[in-house]
Every structure is written in structure tokens, then in C-alpha cells.
């Protein structure tokens, strides 16, 4: 029969550990919040998530630069052909870089998920061979 006092002690213990862990990861969590890493890419691993926050900053900078170049293309006061061609190429180049960064940002989580699936499959194979 469960003892309520023991359950309360256990819950308090777990809560204190969770709070301590959160406090220890506070700088990392603040950096992620600042960089705004997409929740679909966050891995839960502090090193990968820091890597993602660095890429997120670069992604945001590239997006801003691409958007500025696209706005210049729509500016009716710009008639210089060389400048328009340069901006058009810039939009394309920045767009490609953005796509690559988004793909790279999805890799850590994908690799971790694939590793987990492989471990499970190998565990199943090992059990069958025993």
C-alpha cells in the first residue's frame, strides 16, 4: 500500500532535482530563447542546442538580408540594371543559404532519432539471437 508521506517526499525530491537542473541550464535556455530556435529542432542536448542557437542567429541575419534585397527589387526608383541583377542574384543566393541552414538545423534531432531507432532495432535482433 502506497504511503502518502513517502510519495510527498519523492515528489519534493524530484521537484528539487528538476529545479536545480533548470537553474544549471539557465544560460543555455536563455540563449535558446534569445535565438528563438524552432521547437521542432531542439534536441534536449545542451551542446546540440547551443549549436542550433548559433545557426538560428545566422539564419535570421540571412533572412533579413534576403528580404532587404527583395525590397530593393520592388523599389520603383531603382533603374540601374547592374544593381537590379545583383540584388536578384543576392535574393537567390541568400534563399539557397537559408534552405541549407534550415536543413542543417534539422540534422541533429534527425540523427538522434535515427540512433534511437537503430538501437531499438539492434536490441530486438540481439534478443532474437539469444
Query: What is the per-residue pLDDT for 67?
Result: 94
How far is the C-alpha of 22 from the C-alpha of 78, rounded, in Å? 52
In our burial notation (b when 16+ CB lie closer than 10 A, e otherwise), range 44-70 reads eeeebbbbbbebbeebeebeebbeebe
Domain ranges of the chain: 4-129
Q: What is the pTM of this model?
A: 0.57
User: How many Å separate Cα 66 from the centre of its chain?
Assistant: 21
Query: What is the per-residue pLDDT for 61?
Result: 93
Convert the pLDDT of each residue in 25-37 to its tens digit.
Answer: 666 655 555 555 5
How far is the C-alpha of 7 from the C-alpha of 29, rounded, in Å? 30
Place of cell 519523492: 10
Convert the pLDDT of each residue in 35-65 to its tens digit.
Answer: 555 656 667 778 888 888 889 999 999 999 9
How far is the C-alpha of 37 from the C-alpha of 48, rounded, in Å? 11
pLDDT band at 3 (very low <50, low <70, confident <90, very high): low
Amino acid at each position: 500500500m502506497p504511503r502518502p508521506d513517502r510519495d510527498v517526499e519523492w515528489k519534493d525530491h524530484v521537484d528539487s532535482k528538476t529545479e536545480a537542473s533548470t537553474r544549471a541550464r539557465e544560460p543555455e535556455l536563455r540563449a535558446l530563447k534569445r535565438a528563438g530556435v524552432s521547437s521542432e529542432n531542439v534536441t534536449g542536448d545542451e551542446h546540440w542546442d547551443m549549436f542550433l542557437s548559433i545557426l538560428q542567429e545566422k539564419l535570421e541575419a540571412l533572412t533579413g538580408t534576403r528580404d532587404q534585397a527583395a525590397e530593393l527589387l520592388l523599389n520603383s526608383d531603382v533603374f540601374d540594371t547592374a544593381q537590379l541583377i545583383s540584388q536578384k542574384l543576392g535574393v537567390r543566393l541568400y534563399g539557397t543559404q537559408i534552405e541549407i541552414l534550415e536543413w542543417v538545423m534539422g540534422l541533429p534531432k534527425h540523427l538522434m532519432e535515427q540512433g534511437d531507432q537503430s538501437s531499438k532495432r539492434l536490441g530486438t535482433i540481439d534478443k532474437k539471437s539469444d
